[in-house]
Chains A and B, each alone.
Chain A
Amino acid sequence: SAVISQKPSRDICQRGTSLTIQCQVDSQVTMMFWYRQQPGQSLTLIATANQGSEATYESGFVIDKFPISRPNLTFSTLTVSNMSPEDSSIYLCSVGGTSSSYEQYFGPGTRLTVT
């Protein structure tokens, strides 16, 4: 299994600003995923980030709003740009397990509140 850390663990931001969330893994992984989880709701995939290529975004999520970097095999960032209160959520990164992408290991999440 992989150990994943995220920074910050939580933040309160003002409308119109941007926040960059960092995800660090203790081993090299090919696939990294970014999810959003609104309070009391299930997880929604934002994008898949593979090292050396552009991130693949899911329907409803665009690169201008959620730019992602993947500079190496152990690190990724997700930026939430031009935030509004609707962006208040928990953002989680995960990595695929060694056997398949279905077995994923998740970070603890970043709780974002936009005022």
Chain B
Amino acid sequence: LAKTTQPISMDSYEGQEVNITCSHNNIATNDYITWYQQFPSQGPRFIIQGYKTKVTNEVASLFIPADRKSSTLSLPRVSLSDTAVYYCLVGDIGTDKLIFGTGTRLQVFP
């Protein structure tokens, strides 16, 4: 089972842009890439979803290259409240299962 990997942690300061990358070289052909945010003692919360190129909503952008073997979640101008763990979720072509990434713990400093 191929792993969906992310950096373990990232630090940033308020007002900066943060880019979190997920590597998913075994992604299923027709599956979307979805990102979630999780605060302590809460379930994950949906942020954004995309299939290819770029998707933007009111909280984030998602960049997906043509080969779809990775994706980058971009958080513009982070604030302290963006301190959380971020997970990507993709379909695995080998097992036809949805796999959560290893998670990235983002710490935002004042």
Max chain A Cβ within 10 angstroms of own Cβ: one of B32, B87, B91: B32
A81 CB to closest chain B CB, in angstroms?
A: 23
CB under 8 Å from chain B, chain A span 13-56: 41-45
Q: Which residues of A contact B101 (CB under 8 A)?
A: 42
Are B32 and A108 closer than 8 Å at their CB atoms? Answer: no
A106 in the interface (beta carbon within 8 A):
yes
Residue of A nearest to B95 (CB): A59
Given B32, B45, B103, which contacts A106 in the complex, CB threshold below 8 Å? B45
A54 CB to closest chain B CB, in angstroms?
A: 18
Q: Which residues of A contact B45 (CB under 8 A)?
A: 106
Interface range on chain A (Cβ under 8 Å from partner):
20 to 34
Are A106 and B43 closer than 8 Å at their CB atoms? Answer: yes
Q: Which residues of B contact A108 (CB under 8 A)?
A: 41-43
Q: Which residues of A contact B34 (CB under 8 A)?
A: 102-103
Are A42 and B103 closer than 8 Å at their CB atoms? Answer: yes
Binding site for A on B (CB under 8 A): 31-32, 34, 41-46, 49, 87, 89, 91, 97-98, 100-103
Binding site for B on A (CB under 8 A): 4, 41-45, 58, 92, 94, 97, 100-109, 111
